Structure 1
Amino acid sequence: MIELRTTNEIRLVTDNAGWVAFDEPGLVGQKVFFSVEGHGYEFAADGFGNRGHALEVRPGETAQLKVKRINVAERLYRVTGQGQFQHATRLGIPSPWKHPNLNAQVMGQDSTQAVVLGDRVLWTWGDTARVSYPLGNFATSGAWSKLPLKGGLAPSTGIDQQYIVDETGFSKPMFSNNQSGTVVWIHGLFTLKDNQGELNAVTHYSVREGLGKEHRSGIAVFDEQNERFEPISEFPVGTKLFPRGQAFRHQTGDQEYIYFATPYPMLRVPAKWDSVLDPQQYEAWTCLEEGANLDLKAPRLARTADGKLDYAWRKDTAIVDAEQQHRLEQSGKIQPAEGWIQTVDASQGRSLILHRGSVRWNAYLARWVMIANEIYGDESNLGEVYFLTSKSIPGRWEKARKIVTHNKYTFYNPVQHAFLDEADGKLIYFDGTYTKQFSATQVATPRYDYNTIMYRLDLSDERLKSVIEP
């Protein structure tokens, strides 16, 4: 995703293999200047500040341009969409992927949730764009891949996904939905054994008008034989606590819980089948009084006898997330330093408002690792990605280090895929949705926009040491 641009605005973006095939009538035989730029990467500037290089354009010749990585994390490849190896294919260079340029007619996909079932990974995404019409699949998409040690590609090379498709070969809706004008989104995908001892992929589903009104929601289970999700319970309207974000497991005392990171792990439910189906069994790590909703104008705050905010695990009680805590601070309902969330950019010393992400146990660091993105960042809105650690859950998460940056472009809902970890967790992999939506950019990056991109992070990088909790 490095962009080359000529002085007359011909715009070329490198493919997954880093190639650009330049074939422009009129410029063959000419010395052509290409400016070079890319999110989180930098090309050396000349004496006038121009970052680029002039090349003699001749048929059959190649040139290599080197960029410096500014990001701590390394951008590897675009996972979803069309034309991942389109330049390499035009140049006759073979691809390591089975479907290098189009898979299941998918042009774009949003927000990844994935779980391991046996030797395979079940991947799911939200809204999915198709080749043949502007409207695509809005009832969740799915695909399978093999685990790297079970016949799958090395995660540094790619993910060879076998999509679950309909009779036309396009990515099939994973839910039945006859309600016009609505989408089906899933959150908090995890695995759990049912009361008969069978392992299931379980998720919260929401039938809604996009970011607007929700019509119904509840718990659904993946039917592996029919390759679709089947709702098995519906939650009452107004349910305060339900699966959201990215799920993980952690045991406290003799009870194992499923936690949901949004991105902070402030929501949990006992890892029991009947508990997951009962919204009254979910607990929030919250400073609100038991049973309270969040009213930003008149919050029912729980305080100790000496006036301090009283955080505890409470059932049927709303969460106060980072953005809501910030708004309560701005209105004077709580003091800036008394909220539980006190995350600071370690390199700049400024407070951060983190939006979405994941939490995973890391064996290499012997700590919990959070990968999350910032909302209202200076460089981009929802495009700055941070690394944090904690020894405990729910933890403190006080220091953060930026690992990915974007220039006025969004990269939201990042998620680490722990089943791809290498070298006992020294190398971790995460993806997120790259889109101009919610950003200040008007012109989308061709082929890449509204698709997921994979990064690799080396946890031995010296730049991370300052935020690894001692």
Structure 2
Amino acid sequence: MKNIIVISLLSVFLQALPGYFTIEIVDKDTHRGIPLVELRTVNDVVYHSDSNGIVAFYEPGLMNNNVFFHIKSHGYEYPKDGFGYRGIRLDITPGGKKRIAMKRINVAERLYRVTGQGIYRDSVLVGKSLPSSSVINSNVMGQDTVMMAKYRDKLYWFWGDTNRVSYPLGNFKVSGATSIVSDPDHGIDLHYFRENDFCKALCPFAKRGVVWIESVVVLEDDTNRERLIAQYEELKDLTTVLQRGLVMFDDETQVFKPLSVFDLQDLYPRGHPFRAMVNNEEYLFFAHPHPQPFPNVRVKATLKDIQQPDNYEVLVKNERGFIWKKGKKCLEAKSDDWIFLRDMHSEKQLHMHAGSIFWNPYRKRWILIGQEAGGSSSFLGEIWYAEADTPIGPWVYARKIVTHTNYTFYNPTQHPIFDKENGKIIYFEGTYTNTFTKVPVTATPRYNYNQIMYRLHLDDERVYLPCPVYENGSEFSFKEKASQYDTIAFFALPADREKSSAVAIYQDGSRLTTNKMSGEPLFYAAKNNAIHTTALCEYQNRKSAKYHYSVKELPSEEWKKVRTVCRVWKNPTRSTYDYSIKPQE
């Protein structure tokens, strides 16, 4: 009898629900729903698609009517009509539906929102199946800056300041959650560390200010037991650090406890760490996010060494170039001395603000997902992709993969644990917020101050970037095939990166040619006089008649210029690299 009453009440409730019109916005290429698409009516009623790309529309007075919607989204585009409006007219009927396809301008694809309330709100309203059963998780409304590590067969996620439902002030002493290692295409099912109905403060020891953690790593103790370690800062405000040190996660109480305190002038871990080998020893490298996300601090990957500031090394410049030097005090090399990241399609030099660097087995190079400071479309919302032969460089050419219009997307990081097809497909996320914009902007409902996940395919020719070509005597080779690394002669596209805007260069005996030959090309060159390119010329020795190729003018009394073979990308003269650093594969 009780079950019959419940079913009857549910039936009455469902009949009382309005007949929503379902609008589904999808990526024209992948046909996947696009989150964060704005639909705006003529009278400025605004809707935003959920993480399935769904908008549940019901407006008294507009049902059974022909309604125009303006359509826009960061990094996506809908075509203009004859009057210049980007939008569509829909016949709105209760229970009806319409699918709209948008062109993706971003190279990376926006997948879903990771945190906050109403991730799949509109899908719930129209009865669409969900990747997750929760429409609000632990009363979390917004979360700042993600850190993540795999610890004891689970993924441990940590965030900074966390907004709650019941009051504007939330948790300012670190929030955390766990999840299983699952397919990232279908969302992240987070299980928060909770206290009552909200996120638990994971750094309760701090009494004077807010706490942020970074550099979350797993190291073994003296008993070979895994320990979860992080760097923490207790802050009075955004710039005033009260205390800094390391914390260790206590599995019984499920909070962080102090491990060691550093002097504020000490070298210390910062940003998103990665592991690499140096002379057969494992090191942790730290990509300091500010002012640039490049790894100029390292320490041996042991629990003992990470607690000793004297054991940290910093990249410094001397008369011979760059060296790693031990030193307790935080004396850093000026990034302008060794970072020359620039847009491969323009003359613009990029100033990076935050990001991550990890080894990519598909590319067989280190890859950067970085946030630009002072971007054209948004001050802190432009995300770039770059590659280098070593983690400290040469970082030269980059491609924008995500853009925002006067909105911020900061502290992005890749999650290598989610890589698919040996790194051909990668995943990254960042914090979407209306702070730090050039012009004040209204916060996007539900999405603001939350984490958004993206997917990037590295076999997309838009992220085929010029790589260093090394000159070894009279031969050219990329890092993978070079027997020694004397100098970088120029940049070009490796043989596995054929693209429509490049020309294949083959080896014909001792000469280079653009004539198609059997086998793979030596490299791909620029097709025209593109930005940053220079002529690669063929010279013949006047005495020996041997051929030599160079982007530099050779002495005319010894060499005769025969022809221009192709155009290749320039090598900045101050590039640096460190081939003693090997990936931990």
TM-score, reference length from structure 1: 0.88
Matches within 5 A, 1:258-269: 258-262=284-288, 263-269=293-299
* Residue in structure 2 matching 1:284, options 294, 314, 325: 314
Residue of structure 2 equivalent to 1:250: 276
Residue 14 in structure 1 maps to residue 42 in structure 2: no
Q: Could you report, residue by residue, the CA deviation over 1:244-297 in whole angstroms, capped at 9, with x for unpaired residues?
A: 11000000112211001131111111112221001121111133xxxxxxxxxx
Separation in structure 1 between the aligned mates of residue 296 and residue 188 of structure 2, nearest angstrom: 31
The equivalent residue for 2:97 is 62
List per-residue Cα deviations over 1:283-334 (Å, max 9, x = no partner). 11133xxxxxxxxxxxxxx445xxxxx4221233422464xx3xxxxxxxxx
Structure 1: 4+ residue segments shifted above 6 A: none
1:363 to 361, 364, 372: 361
Indicate conservation of the 8 Å contact 1:409/1:441, yes or no.
Answer: no
Q: CA RMSD in A?
A: 1.4
Contact kept? 2:386, 2:465, Cα under 8 Å = no
Instruction: Report the CA distance between 1:196 and its aligned residue.
Output: 2.3
What's the counterpart of residue 441 of structure 2? Answer: 442
Residue pairs, 1:171-190, within 5 angstroms: 171-177=199-205, 179-180=207-208, 182-190=209-217
| Pick aligned residue for 1:204 from 221, 231, 250 | 231
The worse-fitting range, judged by mean Cα deviation, of 401-410 and 277-286 is 277-286
Select the residue among 130, 137, 140 that pairs with 2:164.
130
Of 306, 311, 322, the residue aligned with 2:322 is 311
Structure 2 unaligned spans of 5+: 1-35, 469-493, 495-585
Larger Rg: 2
Cα shift at 1:64: 1.1
Q: Residue 155 of structure 1 corresponds to which residue in structure 2?
A: 184
Residues 359 and 178 of structure 1: CA distance in aligned 2, closer, same or farther (over 3 Å): closer
**What aligned pairs does 1:35-434 form with structure 2 within 5 A after superposition?**
35-99=70-134, 101-148=135-182, 154-166=183-195, 168-177=196-205, 179-180=207-208, 182-239=209-266, 241-262=267-288, 263-287=293-317, 302-303=318-319, 310-316=321-327, 317-320=330-333, 322=335, 325=336, 339-434=337-432
User: Which of 34, 56, 59 is the equivalent residue of 1:24?
Assistant: 59
Instruction: Give the AA of the match of 2:353.
Output: H
In the TM superposition, what whole-angstrom CA distance separates every residue of 1:380-430 from its partner, at most 9, and x where no partner exists?
Answer: 011000111112132211111100000011101100111111111111000
Supply the AA of the counterpart residue of 2:112. Answer: Y
Q: CA deviation at 1:462?
A: 0.6
Task: Indicate the SS of the match to 1:311.
Answer: strand
**Distance in 2 between residues matched to 1:185 and 1:391, nearest whole Å:** 32
| CA pair 94-321 structure 1, distance change in 2 beyond 3 A | farther
Question: How many Å separate the matches in 2 of 1:36 and 1:467?
Answer: 36
Task: Give SS of 1:280's match.
Answer: helix
Contact kept, 8 Å, 2:357 with 2:391, in 1: the verdict is: no
Distance 2:240 2:40 in 1: 42
- Give the % identical residues: 42
- Residue type of the partner of 1:394? I
Identify the residue that residue 330 of structure 1 maps to in structure 2. none
- Which structure has more RCO (C-alpha within 8 Å, separation ≥ 6)? 1
- Whole-Å separation in 2 of the counterparts to 1:433 and 1:236: 30
Residue 98 of structure 2 aligns to a residue whose secondary structure is coil
Using the alignment, how far apart are the partners of 1:178 and 1:190 within structure 2?
21
- Secondary structure at 1:359 match in 2: strand
Letter in 1 for 2:160: G
Please report the TM-score for the alignment, with normalisation by the length of structure 2: 0.71
Q: What is the alpha-carbon distance in structure 2 between the residues aligned to residue 237 and residue 398 of structure 1?
A: 33
**How far apart in 1 are the matches of 2:441 and 2:122?**
25
Q: How many residues align?
A: 427
Report the structure, 1 or 2, having the larger strand content: 2
Report if aligned partners of 2:140, 2:199 keep a CA contact under 8 Å in 1: yes
* Equivalent position SS for 2:270: coil
SS at match of 1:156: helix
Q: Do the aligned partners of 1:401 and 1:467 also contact (CA within 8 Å) in 2?
A: no
